[in-house]
Structure 1
Amino acid sequence: MSNPKTIPDLDRFAFFHGLPPAFLQTWKRNFSRMSFTKRQRLVFPSSCSDVIFFVLSGKVKIAYTSEDGKEFAIAILSAGEVYSEHSLALATAIEKTEVLYVSMADFKAMMDECPELARHLVRLLGKILRLTNDLIVDLAFRETSSRLARVFRRTMQGKNDNAIYLTHEELASLSGSTRQTINEILRHWEQQGIVALHRGYVVLLLPERLWEKISHEYS
């Protein structure tokens, strides 16, 4: 059991918004924190067979790996985001990262105390399922440029600016493609004035052009 004084307030995470503050304060004792280095897989203590983790800082890639070693990422998590680690997808730190985590056993006890928490978990699991289904449909039916446009649109949701802080390598993983192919597509879009390329991020200058492309694809 962790010292609650070392655990930040849980209401910093949108996942817990709307839940009674008294519960949030008590639940802090169920959480632990861990740090991971760049490219390190997130592996938690063996006593926690399944966990839910919350990103405090850094970025985490959630990806499936095929038998031939090809990687298919479904999400890049940044500070404030949450993931339930009980699927076959692997979580890897893209950069130096710190997370909070809670075992599923403790989380179930928390749901017994506050049934409303179960609804929050259902929403999270639904989001993970949608991301996985989107990946399957994208790889089966959509060309790479359309998959990349969809990555941009998902990343833009809830943002107040048009900057996408993902590297070309991360965009390739999320699009189920190669870095070379993504570079070619981005350079083409830059020539058309749709995007501006910067080191480590992309700015969407004419996002409506990309959304128009998506709307014409099979869905």
Structure 2
Amino acid sequence: MSRIALFEGLEQDELGRIAGLTPAAVQPKGTVVMAPHKASPSVYFIKAGAVRLYRIDEEGREVTVDVLGTGHLFGEGSLFGSGLGGLFAVTLEESVICVIGREALQEILEARPQLAIRFIGIVTDRLREAEELLSRLAYGSVRKRLLYLLAKLAGKFGTPAALRGGPDWVRLQVDLTHQELASMTGSTRETVTAALGRLTADGILYRDGTRGPLHVHPGRARRAMEGECGVLLPG
């Protein structure tokens, strides 16, 4: 449980007690672990892996709200009305997901005020990130949406990699198909495939073969986004 951001810094005995209240299960890639029609008053923690949060719009399309990795939590919207309710959560890779009921979580937070403050901060940051992601992925060209998404993924799931004569590449640790990227950007697989090909030709992306890990050059992606937007993006 020490890998969960909410519980960082707790003593081992406290972590052990919390672990006893949060059973974990290994979920295969593509598992819908949370959905509005089967909502329960619980919060989920990602002990390992990656999860995409999305909602269905009026036209039946998936609208990505956030992409979360190890240490993050989700599902708090159904408990506390954070504005992130009514969501689906699907695993992007095999993941270890812990779940805790509302009463147990409230008991933990009431007994540890510092965790309650941290919890509020985490939820507030998530709301801000979700609003930014929604605004970025709702408008603009597919290229622009892909650039933003890939830069976001590189920041959350990337590890430094020296590649093609330069040290500034990042290797994505989460393996996404073209269809998954299309769903996350509100596009089609064919359109995303073509856009990825152009980004590769521009030296922003690199993949060794068709099944190798995807590499992103964040600096070039950032400059390309600034060119698309016509403004300097915040660091």
- TM-score norm. by structure 2 comes to 0.75
| Native 8 Å contact 1:19 1:116 kept in 2 | no
**Any residues of structure 2 matched to 1:51-62 within 5 Å, and which?**
51-62=42-53
Measured after TM superposition, the shift of residue 155 of structure 1 is: 1.6
Give the equivalent residue in structure 2 for 1:203. Answer: 215
Unaligned runs of 5+ in 2: 79-84, 161-169
| Native 8 Å contact 1:19 1:117 kept in 2 | no
- TM-score norm. by structure 1 comes to 0.80
> Aligned partners of 2:139, 2:100: CA distance in 1, in Å?
37
Q: How many residues align?
A: 207
**Any residues of structure 2 matched to 1:138-217 within 5 Å, and which?**
138-157=136-155, 159-161=158-160, 162-164=170-172, 165=174, 166-198=176-208, 199=211, 201-204=213-216, 206-216=217-227, 217=229
SS in 2 for 1:12: coil
Measured after TM superposition, the shift of residue 110 of structure 1 is: 0.5
SS in 1 for 2:40: coil
Measured after TM superposition, the shift of residue 106 of structure 1 is: 1.1
Measured after TM superposition, the shift of residue 69 of structure 1 is: 1.8
RMSD, aligned CA: 2.7
Change (3 A) 1:170 1:140: closer
Taking only the aligned residue pairs, the percentage that are identical comes to 23
Give the equivalent residue in structure 2 for 1:134. Answer: 132
Give the equivalent residue in structure 2 for 1:66. Answer: 57
**Any residues of structure 2 matched to 1:82-161 within 5 Å, and which?**
82-85=73-76, 86=78, 87-157=85-155, 159-161=158-160
Change (3 A) 1:200 1:57: farther
1:171-198 deviation per Cα after TM superposition (whole angstroms, max 9, x unaligned): 2222222222211111011122221135
Measured after TM superposition, the shift of residue 163 of structure 1 is: 1.3
> Aligned partners of 2:8, 2:47: CA distance in 1, in Å?
16
Match of 1:13 among 4, 11, 15: 4
Unaligned runs of 5+ in 1: 1-9
> Aligned partners of 2:68, 2:111: CA distance in 1, in Å?
28
